[in-house]
Amino acid sequence: MNQELLMNPNCLVAALEKPAAEFTKADIISFIQKNNIRMVNFMYPAADGRLKTLNFVINNAAYLDAILTCGERVDGSSLFPFIEAGSSDLYVVPRFRTAFVDPFAEIPTLSMLCSFFNKDGEPLESSPEHTLHKACKAFTDVTGMEFQAMGELEYYVISPDTGMFQATDQRGYHESAPYAKFNDFRTQCMSYIAQTGGQIKYGHSEVGNFTLDGMIYEQNEIEFLPVRAEDAADQLMIAKWVIRSLGYRYGYNVTFAPKITAGKAGSGLHVHMRIVKDGQNQMLKDGVLSETACKAIAGMMELAPSITAFGNTNPTSYFRLVPHQEAPTNVCWGDRNRSVLVRVPLGWAAKTDMCTLANPLENESHFDTSQKQTVEMRSPDGSADLYQLLAGLAVACRHGFEIENALDIAKRTYVNVNIHQKENEDKLKALAQLPDSCAASAECLQKQRAVFEQYHVFSPAMIDGIICKLRSYEDKTLRADLDGKPEEMLELVHKYFHCG
């Protein structure tokens, strides 16, 4: 049997013996019948970034076939601000490839994510999910390659502090129990996410760790594997729902908020990307970063000031983008360097066989490590609209193949030092700054919107909506205004505690 199907924790994949991308309606019906599934849930993200749920009881086989084939009708005006109440009906139609058994439901339930369609049966032009689809298609049309991505979900778990086995402040990275208190919670989340089809790389406790008003704030991270960008967004969407739902059951509060308090690690949602042709990763050539990768990076350098409009969507986002907190502040890229905006992490490009070196009994494996190299965009955070963010990144990477001076831009923005060290002051001054507020991101997006609207990827109405929302916060000077005012900062954090 195919190695990728063996030991697969998604029970539909295991039972149907095929990858999720190949699920058909007949497969779904047969799984439902054989496994005594009694309910079907349609789930879809609305403009608030949250996954909404519509329950169906399976009245009979004919009804099941009808809902899987026709989808259902929903009130679009309650889901998206751009839909008028006067003509608000939309269709939601399930995508079979996203089917999973709900890990929380008491009554056996099969859930699926849906796509939105308008009255004419066409994909809803301004839905974030369709925007991502268009962005990926435009990427492939222009470059002849596939855009793949994966996210790193960082979140804080919050629970009363018992005072036992205190963790070291801001030293929680990869901490084990009992200093890390929520490792079991994280692994349970990982297990459920994997059952829903999420392709996880690993999970660990993160740097952020502090106590505030008798509560422990412990930062954790779950990192995914690169997949088609559309699947990556779906998987992150479901993962956030799983983590929150399980947190609620354990009695833990969980937040993906970008920043909780000044001086402590914020939570990012870094996105790793790779570009694939005929199943082969194109990010390396002869063991070094390829021209393809450099062009994509150049595109991101150019459009970084507007990527924050999709990835950093509330005023607290900009309290995270400050020096010395492993978060980016300036438009630059570099190798393995956590102070840059786009990081090129270690990619197993060295020629040694480390497994044999660590295990002298092993023969050399000649493992193809070329698939592993990615580049990582570090500005986004948990407030991002996942579909718009990945669409924005697909546009930016595509843009790198369309501008003539891409390789010069890449050369100019490369740094190989920590830009926040005193001796590198001049280097820092020469680099463009990321926007420092929602207001600034809105202005940048307004200037660069044509690239995002090219090939009809982002609809002008969607861009108008994003700009209008960002401007509504009126936060142009907020970061400076709240400097040294922790109480007011905390008030702001609570307002946007459950973002995205």
Ligand X SMILES: NC(=O)CC[C@H](N)C(=O)O
- The footprint of ligand X (CB under 6 A) covers 154, 207, 265-268, 320, 326-327, 338, 378
Q: Which is nearer to ligand X, 93 or 167 (CB)?
A: 167
At its nearest, how many Å lie between ligand X and the CB of residue 206? 6
Please give the Cα distance from 343 to 350 (Å, whole number): 18
Instruction: Please check whether residue 161 is in contact with residue 214, taking contact to mean a CB–CB distance below 8 angstroms.
Output: yes
Tell me the residue nearest to ligand X as measured from the CB. Answer: 268
At its nearest, how many Å lie between ligand X and the CB of residue 496? 16
Q: Which is nearer to ligand X, 133 or 320 (CB)?
A: 320
CA-based R_g, the chain, Å: 23
What burial letters (b/e) apply to 395-419, b meaning 16+ CB within 10 Å? bbbbbbbeeeebeebbeebbbeebb
At its nearest, how many Å lie between ligand X and the CB of residue 322? 10
Q: Which is nearer to ligand X, 98 or 267 (CB)?
A: 267
Q: Which is nearer to ligand X, 338 or 498 (CB)?
A: 338
Q: Residue 480 — φ and ψ, nearest 5°?
A: -70, -40
Q: How far is CA 109 from the centre of its chain?
A: 26
At its nearest, how many Å lie between ligand X and the CB of residue 154? 5
At its nearest, how many Å lie between ligand X and the CB of residue 252? 19
Residues 6+ apart with CB under 8 A from 67: 40, 42, 56, 94
Q: Which is nearer to ligand X, 380 or 392 (CB)?
A: 380
Q: Which is nearer to ligand X, 94 or 380 (CB)?
A: 380
Q: Which is nearer to ligand X, 133 or 343 (CB)?
A: 343
Residues 6+ apart with CB under 8 A from 334: 340, 343, 344, 414, 415, 416, 417
At its nearest, how many Å lie between ligand X and the CB of residue 153? 11
Find residue 74's DSSP bridge partners. Answer: 90
At its nearest, how many Å lie between ligand X and the CB of residue 35? 40
> How many other β-carbons are positioned within 10 Å of the β-carbon of residue 354?
12
Residues 6+ apart with CB under 8 A from 151: 223, 224, 232, 235, 236, 269, 270, 271, 272, 386
CA angle in degrees (0–180, nearest 5) for 371-375-380: 135
Please give the Cα distance from 258 to 278 (Å, whole number): 37
